[in-house]
Amino acid sequence: MKRKIDLQNVKGTYDFLPNEQKIRNYINDTLKTIFEKYGYQPLETPILCYYDLLAGKYDESNDLLNEIYKLNDQGKRNLGLRYDLTVPFAKCIAITKDLQFPFKRYEIGKVFRDGPVKTGRDREFIQCDVDVVGLNGQMIEAELISLFIEGYTKLNIDVIIKYNSRNLMTGFILEQNISPDLISKVITIIDKLEKLTKQAIIEEFKKIDIKEEIAINLLNTFNLSLEEINKKYKNTTNESIIKGLNELNELESYLKEMNLLDKVKFSPTLARGQDYYTGNVFEVYDKNGELTCSLGGGGRYDNMITDFINDGNSYPAVGVSFGLSTIYEILRKREEFKNRSLIDIYIIPMNTKKQSLILANNLRALGYKIDIAMNDKKIKKSFEFANRENIPYVIVLGENEISSNCFNLKNMKTGEEIQISLDNLDEIKKIID
């Protein structure tokens, strides 16, 4: 007796049909071109990882640990599916010998998180990361922000990039004589400041035994502009604040010279969720508010790879990630992507199958994307198919066309037909290109 199979996708996973996948491929191809333009090289790491590798950077209370897909292999080893591309990348750097630094890479690949599903947040999704290992300072961070801006501009998405320093946040917390053991928890609460009310934030602080007076002081401090912070802490001896301000001021000086200040915004409450960030962090938002969640993010994580390798040397690292799922949600609603065909010309054979194959290959050699009607449908049905698929041009190749050595190239939008010689296919370039 055959088992009944439940034919449905796991929640948070999807089949992407051609019209959808074309948009996703367009996003990937557009970004790859920009990454390589900036000198980044492609890399691929395994989806399957040892669980200890994935969990090693977090304490047991971290929410991300609950989202790791856990499994065992036949050898009873504890494994997991990667939840991002950063940890496997750090592992790759740690175990690969003779790499030249700085090492610049990009990677586009699937990651998995067993978390709540909502628009722009799935359980199986593709991440797109760009990272550099071996460079200190804010020059490379400014370049990554420039890359960020160019990427979204090329995709015709108007963005604002928020930035902040984890060191500055740490300094603000220590300034209130809060225990260093609570820094991570306090930052997690501060990161929610734009999502929760002031009173709700104070209640969150009370849960970790921080008094209301200190909580209010923190909230007031985290509401200052960068200019106000520079003035207030001009003579501070707090090393974390000094380091954070140096990072932010140097980054801002680069962005000013690059005329990018209108695309960025200092956000003192921005933390990014991961504890491995050690310096400046970034997050990208849609200026038009079409989606309220972030479209990308990143930052500096100097300790992760250094700790993995643990050979006495320092391996500073910084990277950014493009939110492909959220980018897709924006582009798929646009009219230009609803009627987009990857096929340039559709050939309909009329008792000329062999000649049609030859013509198709000759046109492909010129760089065109060609499909052929191979199902012996009536010509009316073939034209209907071409219209449904939004194919812009159609060629009907019959015995008369072969004997006359020419055919008509039909524009499916205007109905116009232009005669082309089989011996001079280059003439099509004047029409299509």
pLDDT, tens digit, for every residue of 48-67? 999 999 987 665 656 678 89
Identify the H or E element spanning 421: strand 417-421
Tell me what pLDDT residue 70 has. Answer: 94
pLDDT at 62: 66
Question: Among 331, 352, 383, which residue terminates a domain?
Answer: 331
On whether residue 23 sits in a domain, the answer given is yes
Structure token pair of residue 42: 């492609």
Same domain as 349, residue 299: no
Residue 8 lies in a domain: no
Question: One-letter amino acid identity for 11?
Answer: K
Residue at 10 is within a domain: no
Chain segment 278-304, per-residue pLDDT in tens: 999 999 999 988 888 899 999 999 998
For residue 293, how far is the Cα from the chain centroid? Answer: 13
Cα dihedral 262, 263, 267, 272 in deg (nearest 10): -170
| Together in a domain, 321 and 402 | no
CB 240 within 8 A of CB 170: yes
Which residue segment(s) compose the domain that 408 sits in? 342-432
pLDDT tens-digit readout, 25-37:
999 999 999 999 9
How deeply is 12 buried, as exposed, middle or buried, from its count of CB atoms within 10 A (0-12, 13-18, 19+)?
Answer: middle
Q: In what order do the strands lie in the sheet with 417-421?
A: 370-372, 345-349, 393-397, 406-411, 417-421
* Residue 337 is assigned to a structural domain of this protein: no
Residue 336 lies in a domain: no
In this structure, are 24 and 128 located in the same domain?
yes
pTM to 2 decimal places:
0.86
202-234, pLDDT tens digit by residue? 988 999 989 989 999 999 999 999 999 999 999
**Nearest alpha carbon to residue 383 among 347, 427, 421, 432:** 347
pLDDT-based confidence at residue 192 (cuts at 50, 70, 90): confident
User: What's the CATH code of the domain at 389?
Assistant: 3.40.50.800
Number of domains into which the chain is organized? 2
In a shared domain, residues 72 and 175: yes
Among 304, 331, 358, the domain-final residue is: 331
Whether residues 289 and 414 fall in one domain: no
Does the pLDDT value for residue 433 go beyond 80? no
User: In this structure, is residue 24 part of a structural domain?
Assistant: yes
Task: Please state the rounded mean pLDDT for residues 374-391.
Answer: 92
What confidence category does residue 399 fall into, taking pLDDT thresholds of 50, 70 and 90?
A: very high
C-alpha span between 313 and 350 (Å, rounded): 71
CATH code, domain with 261: 3.30.930.10
Average pLDDT over residues 338-349: 89
Q: What's the confidence (pLDDT) of residue 311?
A: 86
Write a three-state SS string for 96-125. Answer: CCCCCCCEEEEEEEEEECCCCCECCECCEE
What is Dmax (Cα atoms) for the chain? 92
Verify that 29 and 153 share a domain, yes or no: yes
Residue among 350, 328, 364, 340 at smallest CA distance from 403: 350
Long-range contacts, 43-47 (Cβ 8 Å, 24+): 43/89, 43/92, 43/105, 43/106, 43/107, 44/107, 44/109, 45/82, 45/85, 45/88, 45/89, 45/91, 45/92, 45/107, 45/109, 46/82, 46/88, 47/81, 47/82, 47/109, 47/110, 47/111, 47/112
**Whether residues 230 and 379 fall in one domain:** no
28 and 136 co-located in one domain: yes
- From 331, 359, 377, give the residue that closes a domain: 331
- 266 with 391, same domain? no
Q: What is the pLDDT of residue 6?
A: 84
Q: Is the pLDDT of residue 235 over 90?
A: yes
Asked if 249 and 369 sit in the same domain, the reply is no
Does the structure show a pLDDT above 80 at 312? yes
Q: Are residues 198 and 302 in the same domain?
A: yes
Q: Which residue would you say has higher pLDDT here, 420 or 66?
A: 420
Model pLDDT for residues 104-156, shown as the tens digit of each residue: 999 999 999 998 887 667 899 999 999 999 999 999 999 999 999 999 999 99
pLDDT, tens digit, 9 for 90 and up, residues 246-274: 999 999 999 999 999 999 999 999 988 77
Burial class (CB in 10 A: 0-12, 13-18, 19+), 432: middle
Q: What is the mean pLDDT of residues 307-326?
A: 90
CA distance 18 to 60: 42
Average pLDDT, whole number, for the chain?
Answer: 92
Whether 246 and 116 share a structural domain = yes
Query: Percentage of the chain with pLDDT > 70?
Result: 97
